[in-house]
């Protein structure tokens, strides 16, 4: 099977799963923005989305597909890294200079990916476990109604010093994600063959814009709650 046995095939799987996860991030980020809108204008859009998704069959299937994409992307990353280290050989260069135009992120994708996945575990515990999981199993995993995501999120991020720590952790996470995407998005397009002399610089710009938008959507929410929390603590 070429998707497993050829180098371009393996990279193609990385690019497809990666691109899919970016689309998911864009959706998730847009959804999160409702939290800020709700808080500012007293609407209930976020909880409406929570109820709409929740433990409905399509949301469960969607979650499974996303989980599968994460697993495949991660497994392939490990295999590719092992193969690439082996291809490099055991002898390392004594002097290694940095080349101009080679992004730091592009040479540290696995490390950045591991940071992203590490925080993802925390994130799943903080929210998914108390929302979709609680709704699916009927087990009470938090003091909040699984469908009242809005209150759950706000409680975590505005909980005094603990909230500040969580906000900072999420900011670190988002920064790692931004660096990962700043290389990942254009690299995925290049791997799919969507590049030529005209488009190479364009897809790099597209990559930076997509990374910034995707991460920015999440960042707005974190910064908003951080400011809100600090404001409350100062009063």
Partner 1 sequence: MDSYIDIKVRVWRQAGPKAQGHFETYELKHIFQGASFLEMMDILNEQLIAEHKDPIAFDHDCREGICGMCSMYVNGHPHGPDSAITTCQLHMRKFHDGETITVEPWRSRAFPVIKDLMVDRQAYDKIMQAGGFVSVNTGGVPDANAIPIPKPVADEAMDAASCIGCGACAAACKNGSAMLFVAAKVSQLNLLPQGKAEKHQRAKAMLQKMDELGFGNCTNTGACAAECPKQVSLTHIARLNRDFIGAKFCD
Where along the sequence are the contacts to partner 1 (CB under 8 A)? Answer: 2, 5-12, 80, 83-84, 86-89, 91-97, 99-103, 106-107, 109, 183, 186-187, 190-197, 200
* Structure tokens, 52: 């709409």
Q: Write the CB contacts of 224 (distance below 8 Å, at least 6 apart in sequence).
A: 35, 36, 39
Contact status, residue 154 vs residue 35, Cβ threshold 8 Å:
yes
Q: Which is nearer to partner 1, 75 or 200 (CB)?
A: 200
Least spacing, CB of residue 109 vs partner 1, in Å: 7
Contact status, residue 89 vs residue 188, Cβ threshold 8 Å:
no
Least spacing, CB of residue 57 vs partner 1, in Å: 32
Least spacing, CB of residue 122 vs partner 1, in Å: 27
Helix (H) or strand (E) run with residue 32 in it: helix 7-41
Q: Which is nearer to partner 1, 113 or 149 (CB)?
A: 113
* Structure tokens, 177: 């994600």
Least spacing, CB of residue 132 vs partner 1, in Å: 34
Dist CA 43 CA 217 (whole Å): 19
């Amino acid at each position: 099977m070429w998707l497993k046995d050829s180098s371009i095939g393996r990279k193609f799987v990385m690019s497809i799963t990666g691109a899919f996860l970016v689309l998911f991030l864009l959706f998730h980020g847009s959804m999160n923005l409702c939290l800020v809108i709700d808080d500012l204008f007293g609407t209930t859009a976020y909880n409406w989305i929570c109820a709409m998704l929740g433990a409905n069959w399509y949301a469960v299937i969607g979650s499974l597909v996303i989980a599968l994409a994460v697993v495949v992307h991660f497994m392939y990353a490990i295999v590719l890294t092992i193969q690439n280290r082996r291809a490099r050989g055991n002898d390392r260069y004594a002097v290694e200079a940095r080349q101009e135009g080679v992004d730091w992120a592009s040479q540290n994708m696995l490390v950045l990916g591991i940071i992203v996945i590490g925080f993802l575990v925390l994130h799943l515990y903080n929210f998914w476990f108390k929302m979709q999981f609680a709704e699916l199993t009927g087990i009470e995993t938090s003091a909040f109604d699984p469908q009242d995501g809005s209150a759950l999120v706000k409680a975590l991020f505005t909980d005094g010093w603990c909230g500040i720590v969580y906000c900072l952790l999420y900011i670190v996470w988002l920064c790692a994600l931004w660096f990962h995407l700043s290389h990942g998005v254009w690299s995925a397009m290049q791997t799919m063959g969507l590049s030529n002399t005209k488009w190479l610089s364009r897809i790099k710009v597209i990559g930076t814009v997509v990374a910034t938008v995707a991460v920015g959507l999440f960042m707005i929410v974190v910064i908003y709650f951080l400011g809100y929390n600090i404001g409350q603590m100062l009063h």
